[in-house]
Amino acid sequence: MTIARLVLATVILIADVCAVRARSLVRAALALALASSCLALLFFTWNAPYAASIQLSVGAGVVSTLFILAISLVESMRGGGR
């Protein structure tokens, strides 16, 4: 079980670094969604199902959806491109 936790922690760190360094806002939002999903899986390995389900629904679901929706609305108001 320790190897699975180490792999999940590594994926979280890599996804967070990719989110910070991403040039596209959509890719950054998707990387944050991946990090939130892996954090929820990490909570499951720690036997915290309530924290994991809240993290999965709110962190990976609602927040990521709102980020992507806001990004798409702002880009459509700009004229679709840079």
Q: For the residues 57-71, what does the mean pLDDT come to?
A: 90
Of 29, 55, 50, which is closest to residue 40 (Cα–Cα)? 55
Q: For the residues 47-71, what does the mean pLDDT come to?
A: 92
pLDDT at residue 4, rounded to an integer: 93
Which amino acid, residue 1?
M
- Parent domain of 60: 2-78
Q: Per-residue pLDDT for 81 more than 70?
A: no
pLDDT at residue 75, rounded to an integer: 83
Cβ–Cβ < 8 Å for 9, 43: no
pLDDT at residue 49, rounded to an integer: 95
Q: What does pLDDT average to over the chain? A: 91
Looking at the 3D structure of the chain, how many domains does it have?
Answer: 1
pLDDT at residue 77, rounded to an integer: 85
